[in-house]
Structure 1
Amino acid sequence: MIQTDDDGPVRTVTLRREDKRNALTPSALESLAGAITASPPPVVRLRGAGEAFSAGADFETIQTLASAAARGDTDPAYRFARAGQQLCAAIERSDTIVVGTVDGPARGGGMELALACDLRVGTPRATFGEPGVRFGLFGAWGGTQRLIELVGQTQAFDLALSGRTIGAETARSIGLLSRVTDDPAAVVAEIGAHDPTTLEHIHSLLAGSRPSDRSRQHEREANAFASLVAQHASSLQQLDR
């Protein structure tokens, strides 16, 4: 499901599960973290194959979590939330510059992956949304913190509470995307062409301004996610993308 291609200073990491719009399973979360952090070149491009960046958490996985919660076991839901948090934290804390290139929908956990990147570049086809509220859930992979840091409180509340979808130009206007272009790969190549030591210093200094510890909020997210999976277990078991 995770394809890695190195081309000089740029590693391209592709989510390749087109038939499920690159939805993420527990094993994919672990593989993706390794592909991004395992001694890659100075710049990593994260993309989705096919028509979507990522639809977020795999619906069959959510159904499995809901079935367990219906039997009184919320531990799997808690662990899944923590795994997503750990992946996004690994992306954010990587010494590598990670650029999310979004061509198509980024939904739920897919949007959270994009939020964890250092930079997000989209095509005119890019769309973003956190639809979890429609199912009785929310972005539990660190999205409640990163969204507000990137777009501000008003926009974060609007997106999280409404579950609405926004297009590329709106995403750019609120700071979710840095650029909208037909060729995101060219933007990544442009960055990768610079001196790697200079890139390393710039990245280190800019990344140093981020919050150093989100552990308390992550724990709250994971517990709240597990509680909501239990509360809405019956309807979640019937999910159909």
Structure 2
Amino acid sequence: MIRTEVTGDVTTVTLDRPSRRNALTRAGLSDLQAAVEAADTPVVYLTGAGGAFSAGADFDEVAQLDHDSAREFVRQGQRVARTIETAESVVVAGIDGPARGGGVELALACDLRVATPDATFAETGVQLGLFGAWGGTVRLPRVLGEGEAMDLALSGRVVDAAEAKQMGLVSRVVEDPRAVAEAVADTNHDALAVLKRRMRDDADRPVQEAREAETFADLVVEHAAELER
């Protein structure tokens, strides 16, 4: 269900279950978390096989869960999203075709979301009496703002790549999202890791600014020779 390949400074993690539009079971979530945790390259490229990013949770499995196991399934998805969000590597989502429900939420946990023109997005849980619970109610308003997040989540409507770019759900729409991941990997790896930590810092603003100054100074000392060129 999860396929991993390392090429240079990029680890490609592919959701590889095209017959189910890369829907994730509990086993698939475990494999995805393990793949992201094992990556030791500056950049991880997360994508889907077969012309889809991910349909999110496998509802055939979800339908069989009782209350306790359903709660744990959600907690597992949240852990995977948190693993992506806090990974040392910069994680780039390359989204081609549909991203639905949990697929959107995994993409939201990534540092960059890059779509092809064929990508589409929807939080379809509301149509099934559910909602996006792999951190969706936390990250969606953080990324889109409350108004756009409410519209997407409450309506369950499908948005195309152009509208996703307009609302800030993706940062770019390109023919080859992997090229963006490779371009990121071609920058300074020390700065990449620091930038991610600083951008993800949720401490109070004075603490963030102090950490920003300290880490910038560390990089100046470390790369002094390069700065003099």
Q: Distance in 2 between matches of 1:210 and 1:84?
A: 24
What residue ranges of structure 1 are gaps of 5+ in the alignment?
212-241
* Structure 2: gaps of 5 or more residues: 205-229
Aligned positions of 1:79-158 closer than 5 A: 79-158=72-151
Counterpart of 2:150, as a letter, is F
Corresponding residue for residue 23 of structure 1: 23
Q: Which residue of 1 aligns with 2:161?
A: 168
Kept after mapping to 2: 8 A contact 1:14/1:49: yes
Structure 1 residues 162-195: Cα deviation after superposition (integer angstroms, max 9, x where no partner):
0001000100011110000001111111110112
| Contact 1:37 1:96 survives alignment (8 Å) | no
RMSD: 1.2
Question: In structure 1, what is the equivalent of residue 54 of structure 2?
Answer: 54
SS at match of 2:63: helix
**2:63 equivalent in structure 1:** 63
Counterpart of 1:215 in structure 2 is none
Largest Rg, 1 or 2: 2
TM-score with structure 2 setting the length: 0.87
Amino acid at match of 2:93: G
Q: CA separation in 2, counterparts of 1:205 and 1:22?
A: 32
- Take 1:197 and 1:134, find their aligned partners in 2: how far apart are those partners? 44
SS of the aligned residue for 1:6 comes to: strand
List, as ranges, runs of 4+ consecutive aligned residues in structure 1 with deviation greater than 3 Å: none
Structure 1 residue 210, shift from structure 2 partner: 8.0
CA spacing shift, 1:210–1:22, aligned 2, 3 Å: farther
Q: Which amino acid aligns with 1:10?
A: V
**Which has the higher relative contact order, 1 or 2, with Cα contacts under 8 A spaced 6 or more apart?**
1
Deviation per CA, 1:179-232: give whole Å up to 9, x if none: 000011111111101121121122221122489xxxxxxxxxxxxxxxxxxxxx
Aligned to 1:76: 69
What is the percentage of aligned positions where both structures have the same residue?
A: 50
Secondary structure at 1:140 match in 2: coil
TM-score, normalising length from structure 1? 0.82
CA distance in 2, matches of 1:165, 1:84: 22
Q: CA deviation at 1:40?
A: 2.1
Question: Which AA in structure 2 matches 1:50?
Answer: G
Distance, in Å, in 1 between the alignment partners of 2:40 and 2:94 is 17
Q: How does 1:183-198 map to 2 (within 5 A)?
A: 183-198=176-191
**Alpha-carbon deviation of 1:114?**
0.4
